[in-house]
Amino acid sequence: MATTLRPITMQDMAFLYRVYASTREEEMAAWGWLAPQKEAFLQMQFNAQHAHYQQQFGDASFDLILLDGKAVGRLYLQRQKHELRIIDIALLTEYRDKGIGSALLQGILDQAAQADLPVRLHVEQNNPALRLYRRLGFCEIERQGVYRSLEWEQKSE
């Protein structure tokens, strides 16, 4: 199965919302809200996050993750002179734990190693992806509330 990326378009907004909502499923289930309440809250949060990402990281690549041409997630990556910053990477629930995210992250790490750049990201302390980031060699560099700032640097041999 081939994993590729393509830039997001306005036609992808419903799919991007679905990806976002899938990352909050466990949290929403714990709140006990009715479906319309969840939907309104998630839509508001998604819109705010999307607008923030577009404004704060206007020079980033905002891509859909495609598996054999089918949209399965999103990858937002900012390439700067001094670092590669993973703004967001998320897959629909049914595509998690299948090696897709690991392969994409390894590709980013390979790019960073070739350019001799660190890779940085933020992740919530209870996000299961934290285990993956640590396995790939990311180290915690800062804590801000529930968020952890992580960094990967190529190891000198």
pLDDT tens for each residue of 114-144? 999 999 999 998 888 999 999 999 999 999 9
Q: Which residues of the chain have pLDDT under 50?
A: none
- Predicted local distance difference test score (pLDDT) of residue 157: 55
Q: What share of the chain is helix, strand, coil (3-state, %, to 5)?
A: 45, 30, 25
Reported pTM: 0.93
Residue 139 lies in a domain: yes
- Predicted local distance difference test score (pLDDT) of residue 32: 84
- Predicted local distance difference test score (pLDDT) of residue 69: 95
Residue 93 lies in a domain: yes
Residue 10 lies in a domain: yes
Residue 79 lies in a domain: yes
Residue 27 lies in a domain: yes
47 has which bridge partners?
A: none
Sorted by sequence, the CB contacts under 8 Å of residue 112 that are 6+ apart come out as: 84, 118, 119, 152, 154
Tokens linked to 57: 């990281």
Rounded to whole angstroms, how far apart are CA atoms 12 and 139?
A: 33
Residue 157 lies in a domain: no
Element (H, E) at 109: helix 100-115
Boundaries of domain holding 20: 3-152
CATH (domain of 94): 3.40.630.30
Residue 127 lies in a domain: yes
DSSP 72: E
Supply angle C-alpha 133, 23, 45, rounded to 5: 120
**CA-based radius of gyration for the chain:** 16
Based on the structure, what is the number of domains in the chain? 1
Rounded to whole angstroms, how far apart are CA atoms 10 and 86?
A: 21
Given a contact cutoff of 8 angstroms between Cβ atoms, the answer to whether 76 and 61 are in contact is yes
Phi, psi (degrees; rounded to nearest 5) at 37: -65, -45
Residue 73 lies in a domain: yes
